[in-house]
Amino acid sequence: MNKKYIIAAAIVLLGAVSQSCSNDFIDVSPTENIPESGIEIYNNNDGANSFVTAIYAKFLDWNMSTFAWIGVTSIVSDDADKGSSPGDTGSDKDILDALNFTPSTPSFKELFASNYQGINRANQALKYIPQLDKADADLRARLIGEAKFLRAFMYFTLVRSFGGVPLVDHVPVAGNAEDTNMTLTRKSKEEIYAFIEQDLLDAINALPEKSSYSASEIGRASKGAAHALLAKVYLYQKKWQQAVDQCNMVTGYSLTPNFIDIYKVSGENNAESIFEIQGSGGTAGRAIQQYSQVQGARGTTGWGWGFATPTQGLYDAYTAEGDTERRDATIIHKDMILYDGYHVGPNVENKYYNYKAYSSNYRDQASTDTNIRYLRYAEVLLIKAEALNELGQTGAAVPLLNQVRERAGIADTNATSQAGLRTAIWKERRLELAFEHDRWFDLVRTGQAQAAMAADGGKNFIVGKHELFPLPQDFITEAGGLSAQNPGY
């Protein structure tokens, strides 16, 4: 998807939406309902495209991709401290960092609501695009695949965060009792995962390969992205063989030779990239809102707010492996010269900062040209290695892990047993994917969270509670007994 195009069609779409009178927590306003009488103005290729562009555009929003998301994926984990100044709580980032969060913690409300806002846009696209008979049929089929991929992506975020959630699979009709119950009643996590799987299987059948997209459409969901995400979905459910099978379908990608090049603007959407959220700081309103600014170095020679600062434990984990190349491409430290020649002086407030969020061209602005890398070929190799190892095929898994290590310039693993390789793969995921918004979920799914949190300043991860975040209290209150809170909250 062309960065410069990402919002243009969305503005047209969102300008035509009607305001709902509903107060439902999930039925956010604006609901982006298109009046039936007005659908004809979208009955062309550009109109069809605008429905899906609006979904992508949601990922640029503050409540979707910035402060709350950084908090519940990085700050809550052992990869990042709250950062900033000691007295700056960042609304609730101190609470997240200390694992003292509750159903009223604001970041969970933003996480929950923003993803349902995006799901609502996907449901709008899936409702209206089939009606646009003057739009190209092949285009409509592809756009439906993109909408299903993005809806699956958002439900995957929700199910990893909260477990079972409401399954809103179509645009709710105001005043319809069944639809009201749909938005307020949790389904089981198994039902949510089954829905995600089906959306991704549908997307695989509809989407083209990445190489089929023109230069103006770079960044759109592709068949490879759907296979890679489905492999990850299977990994989280311990469906090992299915994960391997999906990894085998991710073809045409390769590792970027120099790790740091992945995160430069010049490295966006490169041969390793499978799916990224596209940010463009060159045009107002088309950046990922303040993503770089929130995590930028704080102080007289800095440019940002200084939140989500890498922990000493993460820094030391790289050093222990002799992994200086990835360390120095992931963590900015005081008195460091960055790849563009900028000198981070010795007087910035925090010891470390997130290098992967760095925006060279728009360092001092809220806008950023930094993309968020969500699926890379390196992760596909690690997913396949983990799944093969769990299937007892440890010998076949080792070379996959070593491909990632060799790119980082470190020695091949010396692990030979299934248990040893399991630990090595988990460690490799931390070092390779730091600050790519997976660490907390990895700790939970692999059962490492209690020990990791204890090692991170003695934080108390409560088994049976902290595996899931609390559902927002506003939602629980509105559900009126239709949905129960997660255990322990």
**Residue 286: what pLDDT?**
81
Distance CA 43, CA 136 (A): 10
**Residue 2: what pLDDT?**
39
Amino acid present at 123: N
Least confident of 17-21, 354-358, 459-463: 17-21
Tell which residue, 182, 187, 145, has the closest CA to residue 165. Answer: 187
The Cα angle at residue 381 between residues 377 and 387, in degrees rounded to 5: 140
Q: How confident is the model over 82-91, as a mean pLDDT?
A: 97
Amino acid present at 90: G
pTM: 0.94
Q: Is residue 47 part of a domain?
A: no
Q: Is residue 177 part of a domain?
A: no
Chain length of the chain: 489
The residue with tokens 């700056």 is 88
Distance CA 45, CA 43 (A): 7
Q: Is residue 91 part of a domain?
A: no
Question: pLDDT band at residue 364, thresholds of 50, 70 and 90?
Answer: confident
The Cα angle at residue 238 between residues 207 and 204, in degrees rounded to 5: 5
**Residue 440: what pLDDT?**
98
How many structural domains are present in the chain? 1
Tell which residue, 248, 106, 402, 47, has the closest CA to residue 240. Answer: 248
**Residue 33: what pLDDT?**
57
3-state secondary structure of 283: coil
pLDDT digits (tens, 9 = 90+) for 307-349: 999 999 999 999 999 999 999 999 999 999 999 999 999 999 9
Q: How far is CA 403 from CA 82, 330, 407, in A?
A: 33, 19, 6
Task: Return mean pLDDT, the chain.
Answer: 92
The first and second tokens of residue 156, run together, are: 């995957």
pLDDT digits (tens, 9 = 90+) for 122-145: 999 999 999 999 999 999 999 999
Q: Is residue 315 part of a domain?
A: yes
Distance CA 120, CA 99 (A): 31
The residue with tokens 């992931």 is 330
Tell which residue, 100, 115, 98, has the closest CA to residue 161. Answer: 115
Q: Is residue 332 part of a domain?
A: yes
The Cα angle at residue 55 between residues 109 and 131, in degrees rounded to 5: 125
Q: In terms of residue numbers, what domain contains 332?
A: 291-370
Q: Is residue 326 part of a domain?
A: yes
Amino acid present at 257: P
Question: pLDDT band at residue 184, thresholds of 50, 70 and 90?
Answer: very high
| DSSP β-bridge partners for residue 331 | 354
Q: Looking only at Cα atoms, what is the longest distance across the chain?
A: 66
> 320, 94 in Cβ contact below 8 A?
no
